[in-house]
Homo-oligomer: A and B are copies of this chain.
Amino acid sequence: MPPKPKTALQRQQIRTAILNAARDLFVERGVEAATMREVARRMNFSATAIYLHFKDKETLIRELCTTDFLTLAHELRAIETIADPIERLRLLGMGYVQFAITHPNHYRLMFMSPQIVHDTDSSSTEPDNPEQDAYASLYSMVVDAHAANLFRAELINPELIAQTLWAGLHGICALEITMKNDKCIAWCDLTERVALMQGALMRGLLRNHGTTTQIR
């Protein structure tokens, strides 16, 4: 294994190769299956070579999730073009749930694991974290709907509304990921649960709680 000085591009290629190798293990069997040593093994590296490219396992996995979540955020960008604020919110929620269900390990690590303290001043070069990104787009949609006077009069704080909508969908995703195989509970169909959550929350939050927003 001859060491040659690598150009910046080559170095980046190795980084993404490591990320891909780690992802294979990660998406399939979770964080603790994605061993640093196993990743190195698959790269034909020695166990410690990974540390030349990533500070530690934490940052490796975290960076992996970050990039994947950012691609999601960009995919969901198309939804922002939809005119009707309510329909926009509904579709955003659907996309969110869909991602959580198809990438449970990513979701678990981003939203269901103890967070890094995320000190403000640290390495300075990570201004856009995906969770903020996702929440920000939800929030902006809520602000739009609020500006259009669509919410009930008492609801004066868009932030509170956004956090409630998020919590509702997160609850469904989290329970599905964690307990879908729990035989003690007769789980209803996932899409039914999502539809009812969205329908009920909308009906509970919106001003004209009548015919337009229908609970299926």
- List the interface of chain A (C-beta within 8 A of B): 30, 111-115, 117-118, 120, 129, 131-132, 135, 152, 154-155, 157, 159-161, 163-164, 166-172, 174-175, 178-179, 181-188, 192-193, 196-197, 199-205, 209, 215-216
The answer to whether A178 and B113 have CB atoms under 8 Å apart is: yes
Closest residue on chain B to residue A185 by CB atoms: B135
Bound state CA distance, A179 and B167, in angstroms? 12
- Known A199-B204, A204-B199, A209-B203: A167·B193 in contact at CB below 8 Å: yes
Bound state CA distance, A185 and B170, in angstroms? 15
Copies of this chain in its oligomeric complex: 2
**What would be 28 A-B contacts, judged by CB atoms less than 8 Å apart?**
A111-B174, A111-B175, A111-B178, A112-B178, A131-B182, A131-B184, A132-B184, A135-B185, A154-B215, A155-B215, A160-B192, A161-B196, A163-B185, A163-B188, A163-B193, A164-B200, A167-B168, A167-B175, A167-B193, A167-B197, A168-B168, A168-B197, A199-B204, A200-B201, A203-B203, A203-B204, A203-B209, A209-B209
Bound state CA distance, A201 and B179, in angstroms? 22
Q: Which 4 A-B pairs have the closest CB atoms?
A: A171-B171, A200-B204, A167-B171, A204-B204
Chain B residues near A167 (CB-CB < 8 A): 168, 171-172, 175, 193, 197
Bound state CA distance, A187 and B160, in angstroms? 8
Max chain B Cβ within 10 angstroms of own Cβ: one of A30, A183, A201? A201
Chain B residues near A169 (CB-CB < 8 A): 171
Bound state CA distance, A125 and B120, in angstroms? 50
Closest residue on chain B to residue A128 by CB atoms: B184
The answer to whether A205 and B209 have CB atoms under 8 Å apart is: no
Chain B residues near A30 (CB-CB < 8 A): 114
Set B152, B183, B199, B216: member contacting A120, Cβ < 8 A: B183
